[in-house]
Amino acid sequence: EVLDLFIELEANETQLDATVVYASAREGVAKMHMDDEAVDLGPLFDSIIQHVPAPPSDEKGTFQMLISTIDHSPYLGRLGIGRVERGTVNYGDTVALLPLDPDMKGLQAKVTKLFTYEGLDRIEVQSAPAGEIVALAGLEGVEIGLTVTDVEHPERLAGISVEEPTISVDFLVNNSPFAGKEGKFVTSRQIRERLFKELERNVALRVEDTESTDTWTVSGRGELHLTILMETMRREGYEFQVSRPRVILHSGANGESLEPYEELAIDVPEEFLGVVIEKLGTRKAAMLEMKNPGQGLVRLLYRIPARGLFGYRSEFLTDTRGTGIMHHRFLEYGAWAGNLTGRTRGTLVSMEGGVIVAFALANLAERATLFVAPGDAVYEGMLVGENSRPGDMDVNPTKEKKLTNMRSKSSDENIQLEPPRELTLEGALEYIEEDELIEVTPQSIRLRKRFLSATNRKRLTREAKKERASV
């Protein structure tokens, strides 16, 4: 498989005959032969020094470097980090900033601080020659891909562009009945400041204000990219709500809608092959390749709309009983694939607020998968489980058993319930529909309807049906 990958990447003969080092990052060891005793990572470092040529550098030419990454300092602002390709940079130099796009006008800036690196430490210096990795302060508006060069001889380097976001979600101020009970930062001002502060380091993220003062659109390069931000904010004490993700559309040459497509690679046992192919077919996935090495696993390669992957990971693990492996990456923008089938099962929606009791859950567990356990607090409009059938069902999980002289309370102590499904941010983001939200707090992840009142939801459903009928 490694050789096939090298050939696919058009590797030359020298690269195909590369030195092989057997290493384990988790154990922190490396060795040149499988029979050798592994002690440390020394063999790996020695191989790098011996076989990897040093990058070319010219200390006599005019200064030139490419910004490869961005950091932020609360005292110095944004820092541009990269390797000095040519010449020498000095503290106090005036430099030119050349954008990646040659049609855009360059800017000038002054180097107010200059740092190099020793291990993980950042060291302030007065000058740095070619070959050094440096961090420059004072470059206002610096971005990845910019060329920093001598003012008198501005020459642009071939830059790297940051991939544009492909999906977006809405961040909202938490307005549930439990708002403010578990979080430390809950106001619109605090959430907005935190989201825009993330832009200082997270160069692939986009944050936009909306018409509503308590809602912001956040765009990223995938569900994982966005859930990392959500989890980070959650651990910092923020409390907020998140909508269902949606893909970012582009317009084609003729005005047609283009959506992002992903390359999906799957390794699945042969006995689950049929159900995986069937499920991916309903999500508009096109098979590019299927390999059967004869070891019980089949490798599938698909081209699939990014929105076709929403909610599929949990379904895939269920279908393969946890034995399947899948990963995907952005491929291209292509023609709109049409409407996709949404979630096939409905939800159980609480119609009352209070504390959940085992008696009520015992009746619900027979026809649903539960998200909650006895003793959990619940409010009207909160999702407490997944229905075994299509369509939502309003239920009362706080209903207690009425006691009479003919019934004894001790009989309730024998109620046995399956553990509830544990909600994760990534799983919740894949699960919800357009009319649902995720409530994220430092202590809890809850699913809820966008409109909590059952009466309001029914009224909106009737109005939507009338609009469709009139069209």
Nearest to 328 by CA among 260, 381, 397: 260
Residue 16 in this model has a pLDDT that exceeds 60: yes
Return the H-helix or E-strand segment holding 224. Answer: helix 223-235
Q: Which residue has the higher pLDDT, 242 or 294?
A: 242
Residue 406 in this model has a pLDDT that exceeds 70: no
| pLDDT computed for residue 456 by the predictor | 86
90-99, 182-191, 292-301: segment of lowest average pLDDT: 292-301
| pLDDT computed for residue 304 by the predictor | 94
The predicted-structure confidence for 297-340, as pLDDT tens digits, reads as follows 899 999 999 988 887 887 888 889 888 999 988 889 999 988 88
CA atoms within 13 A on the CB side of 307: 25
Please write down the long-range contacts of 359-366, taking CB distance under 8 Å and 24 or more positions apart: 359/399, 359/400, 359/401, 359/412, 359/415, 360/395, 360/396, 360/397, 360/398, 360/399, 360/400, 361/397, 361/415, 361/417, 362/415, 362/417, 364/395, 364/397, 365/417, 365/418
| pLDDT computed for residue 126 by the predictor | 94
Give the pLDDT band of residue 186 (cuts 50, 70, 90): very high
Q: Which residue has the higher pLDDT, 187 or 457?
A: 187
Percent over 70 (pLDDT), the chain? 97
End-to-end CA distance of the chain: 54
- Alpha helical stretches, state H, 245-311: 273-282
Domain spans, the chain = 2-51, 64-150, 250-335, 347-460
Give the pLDDT band of residue 413 (cuts 50, 70, 90): low
- Choices 1.10.10.10, 2.40.50.250, 3.40.50.300, 3.30.70.141: CATH for 347-460: 2.40.50.250
What CATH architecture is 250-335? 2-Layer Sandwich (3.30)
Compute the residue count for the chain.
471
The predicted-structure confidence for 219-260, as pLDDT tens digits, reads as follows 998 888 999 999 999 999 999 999 999 999 998 888 888 999
Let me know: does 44 contact 52? Beta carbons within 8 Å. no
CA-CA distance, 36 to 239, in Å (whole number)? 52
Residue type, 278: E
Distances (CA, A) of 221 to 166, 262, 339: 5, 11, 22
- DSSP 8-class letter at 221: S
DSSP 364-416: HGGGEEES--TT-EE-TTBEEEEESSSS-EEE-TTPPPPP-TT--GGGGGG--
Nearest to 305 by CA among 331, 278, 269: 331
Buried b (16+ CB within 10 A) or exposed e, 287-314: eeeeeeeeeebbebebbbbbbbbbbbbe
- Residue identified by tokens 């200082």 is 200
Residue 218 in this model has a pLDDT that exceeds 90: yes
| pLDDT computed for residue 220 by the predictor | 92
The predicted-structure confidence for 32-51, as pLDDT tens digits, reads as follows 888 888 888 988 999 998 88
Give every CB contact of residue 332 below 8 A, 6+ residues apart in sequence.
260, 261
| pLDDT computed for residue 38 by the predictor | 84
Give the pLDDT band of residue 471 (cuts 50, 70, 90): low
| pLDDT computed for residue 399 by the predictor | 86
Residue type, 150: D
| pLDDT computed for residue 359 by the predictor | 85
- Range with top average pLDDT, 16-20, 55-59, 61-65, 359-363: 61-65
- Residue identified by tokens 């959506």 is 259
**pTM score, whole prediction:** 0.77
Percent over 90 (pLDDT), the chain? 39
Q: State whether CATH 2.40.128.90 applies to domain 64-150.
A: no
Work out the average pLDDT over 399-421.
68
Q: Considering the chain, what is the average pLDDT of its residues?
A: 87
CA-CA distance, 72 to 80, in Å (whole number)? 9
Residue 65 in this model has a pLDDT that exceeds 70: yes
Residue 410 in this model has a pLDDT that exceeds 60: no
Q: What is the number of other CB atoms lying within 10 angstroms of the CB of residue 351? A: 17
CA-CA distance, 230 to 371, in Å (whole number)? 20
SS3 state of residue 117:
strand
CA-CA distance, 325 to 265, in Å (whole number)? 8
| pLDDT computed for residue 408 by the predictor | 54
Nearest to 84 by CA among 105, 106, 67, 109: 67
